[in-house]
């Protein structure tokens, strides 16, 4: 039987690994060079967080031909996840990494998909990053524990010099980022300084590491209304979250091929689908809503969250020097 003749589950399962892979990736030919396809097959990926962002990448990466995965997520599916995440009612209550691994095996029975149901932790980050060639960071930042896990992951990726891609879904905006820690020597490219994770409030840290220049106006408006509410949950939409599946596949392919990526790739489907006149209005509204949001924040929070990295680092260094000088004077 030719690999082009496979049309039933039984025929597919009768194929050995090599023939199955050849058939699976047949339609990649002509656009994905054979050498790159082989690198893809051998590359080991760590997908840290398998919900909105990380979960959007699992199936597309499997369909591209990636076969070696480590999936880490401590969370289980809830009904409110289904508006944007790759799950069904039948998956409710199940660990997100386990569901992701099952979906990969449903695409390619020969895939190697390890599940880490405890997610990223201080105890396992070093080992998980060590076994990965490339990292997809989909760790949730809406809780202090999730944010701590994200920072831990980036610290370890930076220490081990592993390339990492991540993304932020904000209203209609999907802003994908590449932190190539083979080149970058500071986590989040220097947006945080040592000790910020203990000193700053959760939302201040989030704003420091998020791609602030790409936050849409409608998101600023929503955050202004919502951040003061107890137990506030940031709204997320399918049109933004699912975009990362397509972007991540291409971005990881570029890294695997040994090429460079821009730091941020941003697509706002709400904005690009507007008429030209409406896009101008939307751009102006974004500046207005950003100004209103910053004016709504206490000045210290606005500075901590939104100050440009060079000015922020200089201010922190000055504060530390001043504190040390005061301590030295007090000691004498």
Secondary structure, 3-state, the chain: CCHHHCCCHHHHHHCCHHHHHHHHCHHHCCCCCHHHHHHHHHCEEEEECCCHHHHHHHHHHHHHCCCEEEEECCCECCHHHCCCCCCCHHHCCCEHHHHHHHHHHHHCCCCEEEEECCCCCCCCHHHHHHCCCEEEECCCCCCHHHHHHHHHHHHHHHHHCCEEEEEEEECCEEEEEEEECCCCCCHHHHCCCCCHHHHCCHHHHHHHHCCHHHCCHHHHHHHHHHCCCCCCCCCCCHHHHCHHHHHHHHHHHHHHCCCCCCCEEEEEHHHHCCCHHHHHHHHHHHHHHHHHHHHHCCHHHHHHHHCCHHHHHHHHHHHHHHHHHHHHHHHC
Give me the CATH number covering residue 110.
3.40.50.720
pLDDT of residue 3: 61
| pLDDT value of residue 285 | 96
Residue 212 included in any domain? yes
Supply the pLDDT for residue 328. Answer: 75
- Looking at the domain assignment, is residue 120 inside a domain? yes
Residue 47's domain spans which residues?
32-331
Number of domains in the chain: 1
Does residue 42 fall inside a structural domain? yes
Please list the rounded mean pLDDT of every run of 10 residues in the chain (332 residues): 77 94 96 98 98 97 98 97 96 98 98 98 98 97 91 98 98 97 96 92 94 96 91 92 96 98 97 96 96 95 95 89 80 74
State residue 73's pLDDT score: 98
Q: Is residue 25 part of a domain?
A: no
- This prediction's pTM: 0.94
Is residue 15 in a domain?
Answer: no
Give me the pLDDT at residue 329, please: 79
**Residue 231 has what pLDDT?**
83
Give the pLDDT confidence score for residue 317 in this predicted structure: 86
């Amino acid at each position: 039987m030719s690999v082009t003749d496979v049309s039933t589950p039984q025929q597919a399962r009768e194929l050995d690994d090599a023939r199955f892979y050849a058939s699976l990736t047949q339609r990649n030919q002509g656009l994905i060079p054979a050498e790159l396809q082989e690198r893809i097959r051998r590359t080991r990926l760590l997908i840290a967080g398998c919900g909105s962002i990380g979960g959007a990448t699992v199936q597309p990466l499997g369909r591209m031909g990636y076969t070696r995965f480590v999936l880490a997520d401590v969370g289980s599916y809830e009904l409110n996840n289904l508006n944007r995440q790759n799950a069904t009612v039948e998956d409710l209550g199940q660990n997100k990494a386990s569901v992701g691994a099952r979906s990969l095996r449903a695409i390619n029975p020969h895939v190697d998909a390890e599940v880490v149901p405890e997610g990223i932790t201080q105890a396992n980050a070093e080992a998980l990053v060590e076994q990965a060639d490339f990292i997809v960071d989909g760790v949730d930042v809406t809780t202090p524990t999730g944010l701590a896990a994200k920072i831990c992951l980036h610290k370890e990726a930076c220490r081990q010099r592993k390339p990492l891609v991540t993304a932020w879904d904000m209203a209609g905006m999907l802003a994908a980022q590449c932190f190539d820690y083979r080149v970058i020597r500071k986590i989040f490219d220097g947006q945080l300084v040592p000790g910020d994770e203990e000193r700053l409030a959760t939302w201040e840290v989030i704003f420091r590491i998020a791609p602030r220049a790409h936050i849409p106006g409608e998101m600023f408006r929503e955050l202004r209304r919502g951040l003061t509410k107890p137990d506030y949950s940031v709204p997320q939409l399918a049109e933004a979250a699912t975009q990362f599946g397509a972007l991540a596949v291409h971005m990881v392919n570029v890294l695997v091929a040994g090429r460079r990526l821009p730091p941020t790739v941003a697509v706002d489907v709400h904005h690009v689908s507007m008429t030209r006149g409406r896009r101008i209005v939307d751009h102006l509204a974004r500046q207005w809503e950003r100004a209103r949001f910053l004016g709504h924040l206490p000045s210290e929070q606005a500075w901590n969250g939104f100050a440009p990295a060079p000015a922020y680092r200089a201010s922190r260094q000055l504060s530390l020097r001043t504190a040390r000088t005061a301590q030295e004077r007090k000691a004498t």
